Structure 1
Amino acid sequence: MGNCPPSRARVVVVGGGIVGCATAYHLARRGCTDVLVLERKSLTSGTTWHAAGLITQARPTEGMRRIVRQSLEVFHDLEAQTGVGFRRTGTIHLAATGDRWEELRRQASSVSAEGIETEILAPDEIQPLYPLLDPTGLVGGVYYPSDGRGNATDTTLALARAAKEAGVRILEKTAVTEVIVRGGLARGVRTEAGDVEAEYVVNCTGMWGRQFARNHAVTLPLQALEHYYIVTDDVPGLGSGLPTIKSPDDCAYVKDDAGKLLVGFFEPGSRPWNSRGIPGETEFATIPGEWDHVTPFFERVAARIPSIADIGIRLFFCGPESFTPDGVYHLGEVPGVRNYLAAAGFNSVGFLSGPGAGKYIADWIVDGHAPFALTE
């Protein structure tokens, strides 16, 4: 049994990860403080806690890029107010094929028109920015100097703290079992400790989104998949603040992390986790994983950054991330149910999109309509 929630709130946010806490934060900033955040376990304990913290602006649509720009405003504000937020490092996107090079240049052209800074790099221009990289076999790269990184847990807790100081109520260890829907309208939520009446309900349940929505006859397509990364031992002379490397042809990204390298993978054939339902006791979940599954992709990265092959591995990590069938997150009002909004299924970009998505939902609730179109 969790805490005893109030009998009523204007807005109930279900889920206390980066997205749920950002929604509460932005509602409070818009003057809506009669907000209740209900988290089934602990804040950040779903997937937020193990996020790599990358902040990259090269998103596929103008709407998604606008969400990230809104996130950047929050990161900068938090940094100024609390010291938690954003560290500018830049990102280099690599192309090892002609088709990839065309894709990256087209993307750079689109984002440049929106004021996002980019630099087109020849292979020999990449290594001065990232000395560990062997540019052999590369066609080129695109550098985004204003990208950066943050800490997902620290950012989420800072958002939660600011929301609480403004009057938002946040209850942990309080599980919501379903959204109460009558006459096609969200009326509140049912918890283990009683019902809460509400004008608006926001589903920020992350990888639980599909099974949670199913409890009240709503379809929200998403699935938790395995996501791998490794952290090396200390790299002599590495320093800090190198650009993040994103190499889609190698299905990998690389960032420096306290004198070590973190290498993450988005490999084809990623496997579903608990497709029949995530157990209710799940919190800060890790998955045993299989080294053989990611070995081919680690070898590609080692060819790209040869020093990795000679460095020990400090951590081999596999954890769940939620993904949608089309790679586009759910953000907005749930079809067929008025005043029930969803913000879930962020396809491993929840940290960089979460603060902006929270603003999108908050503006929708306060203003009564979608702030802008997300699709093109």
Structure 2
Amino acid sequence: MSERNDRPVVTGIGVIAPTGMDTETHWQATLAGKSGIGRITRFDAGGYPVRLAGQVPGFVAAERLPNRLIPQTDHWTHMGLAAAESALADARVVPAELPEYEMAVVTASSSGGTEFGQHEMERLYQNGPSWVGAYQSIAWFYAATTGQVSIRHGMRGPCGVICCEQAGGLDAVGQARRLIRRGSRIVVTGGTDASLCPYGLVAQLSNGRMSTVDDPERAYLPFDEDASGYLPGEGGAMLIVESAESAARRGATVYGAVAGYAAGFDPAPGSDRPPALRRTIERALADAGTSPSAIDVVFADACGTPDDDLAEARAITEVFGPRGVPVTAPKTLTGRLYGGGAALDVATALLALRDGVVPATAGTSRLAPGCDIDLVLGRPRDGALRTALVLARGHGGFTAALVLTK
């Protein structure tokens, strides 16, 4: 099938994050440096080496979703459904008024429904197989949120899920752009995650990149001399991506356009080949027809481990020059949200373009040797922003870059 070469636009944003349960609350908290990091309260984490995380405050599924859906789905899907509902309302899209096969859903997923799966395994081991519910077979599955959004809103166009850990949020937007170019009118895309349960936390600890520092203000410090890893979080964002023609026809408010996208994969450990991030950035810029000098801000992946931070800083410097472009990492206020993290960064970048302000990176104060980047610290930085670059890397080598224009 041939593809149009236009630039799809984002007309709706829905946020469910540790920094707020709606878009503007999240944005104001981000600008104010108000952190959503705190003690894990979803379970007793006292015996775990990581006891801090970004939790969504006050989210009650029964207040946002039909009661019948709640026992059928995981907390991660609850937040995805709520964020999708908000995004559709923000875009003023009424799905019942559009052809069902012209609406699609593509989300990112990392952990899947870990909490739901854990509870079903507990029932199995404690009470026997007859206690395991029928929804175990689907509620944990990576595509559960995509399926539930599709069913709830009657969206029967091409639907899918991207499983690339933290990079998946950008890959999902890239796939949404591809679907728009192939004829879809509206795509609900983005992602959420919710793996703050014993099973989920243990699985995450295995990568060796999580911070065990017990001070919420010093635990997650990307690019800092004292960087010790990252903190986990839950939540994310959903976006409405549609063709520029459709947006104009509806008179929709446009946050920005998806101008360029690229994905890559790191070489095997021990290889003498360089990481994929620099090449991925260059390919995304080429895809957008944009030079490095046109980028006004970079939203960094900001893993928080010294080696990963240095590799990202070097890639940015190789493309833009030393301190050549403002860089920010507002995820220090939320933790890394895995399947929801990059989608939330896209939402935040679009809000930065809208308001002409770069949010600061909270916590980081002294750049580590070799991190020769212009990291925005202390307070937001005003400016005429036209183009933003969002970066994401997922555990295992996934790499993605997305160019957004005002």
Using structure 1 for the length normalisation, give the TM-score: 0.23
Higher relative contact order (CA 8 A, sep 6+): 1
Quick check: which one's strand share is greater?
1
Using structure 2 for the length normalisation, give the TM-score: 0.22
Bigger Cα Rg? 1
Quick check: which one's helix share is greater?
2
